[in-house]
Structure 1
Amino acid sequence: MKTGANAAARRRSGPQTLPEVTMSEDGEVRFLHLGTEWIQGSMIIDEPFAIELDYVQRMMAWLLFVDPDTVTKRRAMQLGLGSAALTKFCFKICRMDTTAVEINPQVLAACRGWFKLPPESARLRVLLADAGQEIRKAEHTGQVDSLQVDQYDHEAAAPVLDSPDFYTDCRSVLTDDGVMTVNLFGRDASYERSLQSIRAAFGDDAVWAFKPTREGNSIVLAQRHADRPTRMHLLARAEEIQSRWGLPAVKWLRIFKPVV
């Protein structure tokens, strides 16, 4: 989820009624909604595999911590499909083995029908499942190099999965040099609680954060094992990311730093 929300932190509890999925368009951009005006994802209609929103681009900051030449050999997993922007980018642009976990079948149908999600293949899978349960399956343990967590409900509130136990489960699916990125609201009261949960699961030295976007989205990054590369190393890596994949990674370094 995505832009302009204020809400208290919540956790998923009891049976859920899944919201209706709708679309809207504004010029060259198509938007995904879950029964409200809140934007749950977007796509540039003429560039369906590009990432349109700044904060979604920042979910790719894990690239700063891996050798670019290894990316095509790595595995990505998204918890929450949204408009499939990250799923498409990892699969189509980065050429990665990619798995998305989505609880709402209407979201998957919308992504296939309106947001150019490619059909499933040996390298692309979408699992209709509860993400909190799915990542506890033994088949995922230690298998994911990039875990991207963006799970908000139709009211654009705090993450629906946000406990220290959940983030510990997230850490367990990562490879030794794996990285998790999470979308949080940096101007919301729930941000500090979410950040503390991530730090409890990953350790203080392993957690980095972006400054919030204008809309309030703040991307937090956590490494399976802490690594503090030098500024020059990060700059060289950012320039390579920008050259290879067209992401504004050099600009990221002005607004991205360790939390402690």
Structure 2
Amino acid sequence: MRGAARTRAAVQSRAQLPEVTISEDGEVRFLHLGTEWIQGSMLIDSPFDIELEYVQRMMAWLLFVDPDTVSKRRALQLGLGSAALTKFCYKKLRMDTTTFEINPQVLAVCRQWFKLPADGPRLRVVLGDAGEAIRQPEHAARYDALQVDLYDHEAAAPVLDSADFYRDCRGVLTDEGAMTVNLFGRDASYEASLRSICEAFGDESVWAFRPTREGNTIVLALRTPQHPTRMALLERAEEIQTRWNLPAVKWLRLFKPVLAKT
């Protein structure tokens, strides 16, 4: 049931939101939500690059679109974190970029400490519940890249993680659109999350990385299934690496359709 599926998000939105803090190690600035868990990071000398490996993998949707069309597309992030994805899509990819974030402190800290630009014609950060926001009619079939990273301060499991939620995610995508989701691949909840994504998108539309050393697994789901050859993916990966300095060639050793895993 939709109401039951959204209970955790509703509870979080009503509860007191965690305090946002930052730390540094000299080269990297980290964002925390009231615990030692790292919720995002930024290279201090390269604030618009993506520092964390799993966050870089959230850009794997680039493998499925023509690089020459990227700047004409729209990106949506659910969860601002340290704004790494939002900044990369806006500044590096030159995309029209929207982000939904529930915690106003996160937005304020990103603007002050993580070089998040002010809202403008191509950039907007909307404060509110992501699960409710994406159900609004104006977002239907609007976005080519949807990036979902919705963990609370305990970082135990995604705040929104039901098949109904992922159906709503599918509904905001264009025909060529793709969703990437951050999951904990070594956590017991991973298989349940993957089943929910496959239920919403169809098994033939879903791809997954191997977990990072920290246990993050990025899952990608296409609005419309694609089955490119490995050579086609390699050519695309090489161009992504050249244009945007993302380790896309390495991705191909770690990234497969979920049907190939069974």
Q: Is the Cα contact below 8 Å between 1:31 and 1:42 reproduced in 2?
A: yes
For residue 104 of structure 1, what is the amino acid of its counterpart?
N
CA–CA separation in structure 1 for the residues paired with 2:164 and 2:15 = 21
TM-score where L is the length of structure 1? 0.96
The answer for unaligned runs of 5 or more in structure 2 is 1-6
Higher helix share: 2
User: What's the counterpart of residue 114 of structure 1?
Assistant: 113
User: What's the counterpart of residue 84 of structure 2?
Assistant: 85
The structure whose RCO (Cα within 8 Å, separation 6+) is larger is 1
User: What's the counterpart of residue 8 of structure 2?
Assistant: 11
For residue 230 of structure 2, what is the amino acid of its counterpart?
R
Q: Over aligned residue pairs, what C-alpha RMSD do you find?
A: 0.8
Are residue 235 (structure 1) and residue 201 (structure 2) matched? no
CA–CA separation in structure 2 for the residues paired with 1:192 and 1:93 = 33
TM-superposition CA deviations, 1:46-100 (whole Å, max 9, x none) = 0000000000000000000000000000000000000000000000000000000
Identity of counterpart residues, as a percentage?
A: 76
CA–CA separation in structure 2 for the residues paired with 1:134 and 1:80 = 12
TM-superposition CA deviations, 1:129-187 (whole Å, max 9, x none) = 10000000000000000000000000111000000000000000000010000000000
Listed as ranges, the matches of 1:56-205 within 5 Å are 56-205=55-204
CA–CA separation in structure 1 for the residues paired with 2:52 and 2:21 = 19
CA–CA separation in structure 1 for the residues paired with 2:26 and 2:168 = 41
**What secondary structure sits across from 1:11 in the alignment?**
helix
User: What's the counterpart of residue 247 of structure 1?
Assistant: 246
**What secondary structure sits across from 1:156 in the alignment?**
coil
CA–CA separation in structure 1 for the residues paired with 2:255 and 2:86 = 23
CA–CA separation in structure 2 for the residues paired with 1:34 and 1:54 = 20
**What secondary structure sits across from 1:12 in the alignment?**
helix
Runs ≥4 residues deviating over 3 A: none
> 1:16 deviation in Å?
1.9
Q: Is the Cα contact below 8 Å between 1:62 and 1:180 reproduced in 2?
A: yes
**What secondary structure sits across from 1:233 in the alignment?**
helix
> 1:13 deviation in Å?
4.2
Q: Is the Cα contact below 8 Å between 1:11 and 1:159 reproduced in 2?
A: no
For residue 38 of structure 2, what is the amino acid of its counterpart?
I
> 1:201 deviation in Å?
0.1
**What secondary structure sits across from 2:191 in the alignment?**
helix
User: What's the counterpart of residue 6 of structure 1?
Assistant: none
For residue 71 of structure 2, what is the amino acid of its counterpart?
T
> 1:44 deviation in Å?
0.3
TM-superposition CA deviations, 1:102-146 (whole Å, max 9, x none) = 000000000000000011100000000100000000000000000
**What secondary structure sits across from 2:8 in the alignment?**
coil
For residue 11 of structure 1, what is the amino acid of its counterpart?
R
User: What's the counterpart of residue 52 of structure 2?
Assistant: 53
**What secondary structure sits across from 1:198 in the alignment?**
helix
